[in-house]
Structure 1
Amino acid sequence: MRIGLVRHGLTDWNAAGRIQGQTDIPLNEVGRNQAERLGIRLQSDDYHWDYIVTSGLSRAQETGEILSRMLHVPMLEPDARLKERGFGQVEGLTSDERVARWGESWDTLDLGQEQIKDIQVRALAFLKDLWSAYAEQNVLIVTHGAFLANLLAALFQDQYNERIGNLSLTVLEKEQGDWIPILYNCTQHLSMEAAEQSE
């Protein structure tokens, strides 16, 4: 089984540096264009995909729908376990606003954030169920940055700590034992776009 872990495209809150969490913020035009760029890349990749599943939040759902249309790959029902980490009182605030309210160590305070262990439990449960149901298929999973960071930390013990970029692609494979990373946080398709625009 191969899975492709995709972070949704850009939103206005991403562009403004606001934490989204589980607030349902839609893609902006840049985000839609990013999704199309990944779709173009996947059309010419050697990877074959059988299904797409998303978190159900609109920014992930629309990213998945764009990929589904371009790749002619059916979408499974959204899975709420793929939702972004809940950030409680912090959602909607920029870094400066967070520091102004709670100080530099705001992230150590209990402000209603979902606990890391809880997001990892639901992420690993999702992967276990996906493996049980689709072990012979390859699935694109469209989800969120903090979700992906915590899933990868749970799988690989903090081996990967680079910030997960919008519309990045991470590919993992599994035959029997552990998940094996094949590609990590790749945004090559977005760099190609920037190069084309500068010509």
Structure 2
Amino acid sequence: MTTIGFIRHGITEWNELGKSQGIIDIPLNSTGKQQAVALAHRLALEEEWDMIAVSPLTRARETAQIIADKLNLPITVIDERIREINCGLIEGTTEEERIQRWGTNWRELNLGMEPRGDVSQRGIEFLEEIVQNYPGKRILVVSHGALIGLTLQRLMPETFSKTNMDNTSITILKNIERKWECILFNCTKHLELQ
């Protein structure tokens, strides 16, 4: 049995402003760092983990490093496949700005966004490789909201028709004999103590 703990990175200034980040490399803000510390304390008390895999984007790497330092764990894998969705022309814009530039139907336009199916496919490929390379391990995967959500929808469509991942949420999946089970979804109880 391999266990995956999917973690969405801590909050950034752009998250708070409602700006689409995509693959633009935005760091955590002070609140995001505090969220990551709170999650690291929770993980140190509740579960034992073997390693960390992380997206190459700064906000994910900063979150992962805070956790790694607290748990004394190696960041074993940095993988481009678990970076955030490329949002094309909408990166750096708010919903209001998108409506102003492209109209209320902006979602129907070709604005250079990476197809959702491509995002979930790279998430699935990453998971399959992790399970194959690290059987029986407990692996924290620090990534991004759209990547995690779309991967969950593709992996377990009957369970996840919609997902909304909160900053520093943890979602725990178990892979038992090639079958996936979700035992915890989008949990942020560590933030209630802040």
Q: What TM-score comes out, normalization by structure 2 length?
A: 0.96
Q: Residues 153-174 of structure 1: CA distance to partner in whole angstroms, max 9, x if unpaired?
A: 1011163324110000000001
Q: Does 1:175 align with 2:176?
A: yes
Distance across 1 between alignment mates of 2:81 and 2:165: 18
Match of 1:96 in 2: 96
Higher strand content, 1 or 2: 2
Moved more, 167-176 or 156-165: 156-165
Q: What are the residue-to-residue correspondences of 1:157-176 with 2, within 5 Å?
A: 157=157, 159-160=159-160, 161-176=162-177
Q: What are the residue-to-residue correspondences of 1:11-30 with 2, within 5 Å?
A: 11-30=12-31
Match of 1:39 in 2: 40
8 Å CA contact 1:53–1:141 kept in 2: the answer is: yes
Q: What TM-score comes out, normalization by structure 1 length?
A: 0.94
Q: How many pairs align?
A: 192
Q: Does 1:4 align with 2:5?
A: yes
8 Å CA contact 2:37–2:66 kept in 1: the answer is: yes
Q: Find runs of 4+ consecutive structure 1 residues off by over 6 angstroms.
A: none
Superposed CA RMSD in Å reads: 0.9
Identity %: 39
Distance verdict in 2 for CA 1:158–1:20, change over 3 Å: farther
Q: What are the residue-to-residue correspondences of 1:1-199 with 2, within 5 Å?
A: 1-45=2-46, 47-157=47-157, 159-160=159-160, 161-193=162-194
Q: What runs of 5+ residues in structure 2 fail to find an aligned partner?
A: none
Distance across 1 between alignment mates of 2:77 and 2:156: 28
Q: Residues 137-186 of structure 1: CA distance to partner in whole angstroms, max 9, x if unpaired?
A: 11000000111110011011163324110000000001213110010000
Distance across 2 between alignment mates of 1:30 and 1:158: 34
Specify the code of the residue in structure 2 equivalent to 1:191: E
Distance across 1 between alignment mates of 2:105 and 2:78: 35
Distance across 2 between alignment mates of 1:180 and 1:158: 11
SS at match of 1:146: helix
